Amino acid sequence: MNIKIIIKEIRRQSVWQIIGIYLVAGWGAFEVITSLTETAGLPEWFPAASLALLILFLPIVIALSLMKDNDQSEVTQERKIQDGENSSTENLSATIDEKTNWKPAFITGAAIMIIISIFGIILSPKIQNGNDNSDHGELETVIASPTDQALVNFAIVPDADNVQIYFTKLSDELDLLEENSSSSLELKISPGEYLFTIVRDGFNSLQFTKIVDESEINNYQFELLKKTAADDNMLIVDQGFLVSDDTGKVVPRFKIDRTEVSNREFARFVSSGSYENASLWRSTISIDNLNLSDQTNLPGPRNWSGSLYPEGTGNLPVSNISWYEADAFCKWQGKKLPSYEQWWRAAINSNDYDYPWGNSASNMDKRANFDSQKAVEIDAYPIGASQNGVLNLAGNIAEWGNVERPEDTKAINMGSSWQDPAYLFDINVKEKLPLNFSSVNVGFRCVK
């Protein structure tokens, strides 16, 4: 078929048909722009702007569709003179239809969409760069950014001078990925679970895990403890309450050992002659009557020999000790055994958590020592730390708590041990043991 004939037939279309062509062409272009917005990173407002411009230019297209070509106007005038016919309403409608020009309409619609696309492609990188350089204090801006990053803010007490933050993202299997560091207290990182370590010269370091969510405000405040001989390896737990305590009792701020007391630490207590220092021991008991001696009848835990711990176990938690020995050790250091409220406050803070790190029970073997054959070293399982940075509160060694009253003959035992299943780590489980009880799976830590 001759192309000229096809074009001639198209030129005879009515104004309504031309409007239809514009709308169909515009709809097609709008769909293309919507698709490019999703796949090519165009601004989210771009499709709405394109639709607004299409509507804005519709009257212009209608006006253009009624314009006459010069050649067609001359032909029409000749016909009117030769035929000598007066224009009727029917002839006028036919003349308008015949002289309708589809080209301006279609070309105008296409040109508009091309201009919109070019404008969006040029403007989009500038908008994205503007968002990247925006004030990080505006959390909403960061969340809306296509970079899929979350903002994390740290507030360090007493001040933030010379603080270094190390952060390592965890995989879904809780494997440690590449470590990064920053001296800034404001981080912009991808969402996920991280192991954070806060280090400052002259202060005890703090290590904990946090789940960073781009839809939440990730503001964390921590108080670092100045490093001294008396407070070595201790962390601060701020005042607050326990979710399980219906009375709303506030637990005052306190310090707690970051780790369980090790064999190495307890050996210094033994070698200092503390078993003979009556001022460290409960006045109502006689050490001689308690049989607090090792396998060679010398002072020390039941599984020691010659007042020495087994070779290669220096960094393991001390065990096989009674409440009396744990209490005396804490007094020797100017500390005391934790109360039930203090211990659980250090473990889960004010959160309704199942475990110190949160509620996740997946990959438990990488967070805590449950259902195993023996205890592990006191600094194991860093990604199982509590939100206060305290290690191995869940599993490994069950821990002695303080007596509630001076006349008590039993004391609470918390945290469960390496022999136990994970479900025994429960704030509602309040097991009490005789003060002279000792076991391979019971140890302790101190507070002050």
Lowest-confidence region among 99-113, 183-197, 253-267: 99-113
Give the pLDDT confidence score for residue 111 in this predicted structure. 62
Q: Which residue has the higher pLDDT, 305 or 350?
A: 305
- Note whether 152 and 220 are within 8 A (CB): yes
289 pLDDT more than 80:
no
Give the pLDDT confidence score for residue 26 in this predicted structure. 72
Supply the pTM of this predicted model.
Answer: 0.67
pLDDT > 70 in the chain, percent: 71
- Write down the CATH number for the domain with range 148-227: 2.60.40.3070
Confidence of residue 107 (pLDDT cuts 50, 70, 90): low
128 pLDDT more than 80:
no
**Three-state secondary structure call for residue 389:** coil
CATH class of 232-448: alpha beta
Give the pLDDT confidence score for residue 291 in this predicted structure. 80
Give the pLDDT confidence score for residue 405 in this predicted structure. 92
Domain span(s) for CATH 2.60.40.3070 in the chain: 148-227
Domain span(s) for CATH 3.90.1580.10 in the chain: 232-448
Span 8-33, average pLDDT: 66
DSSP assignments along 318-387, one per residue:
P-S--HHHHHHHHHHTT-BPPPHHHHHHHHHTTS--SBTTBS--TTGGGT-B-SSSS---TT--GGG--T
Query: For the chain, what is the mean pLDDT?
Result: 81
Span 365-394, average pLDDT: 97
**For the ranges 66-75, 134-143, 239-248, the one whose mean pLDDT is highest:** 239-248
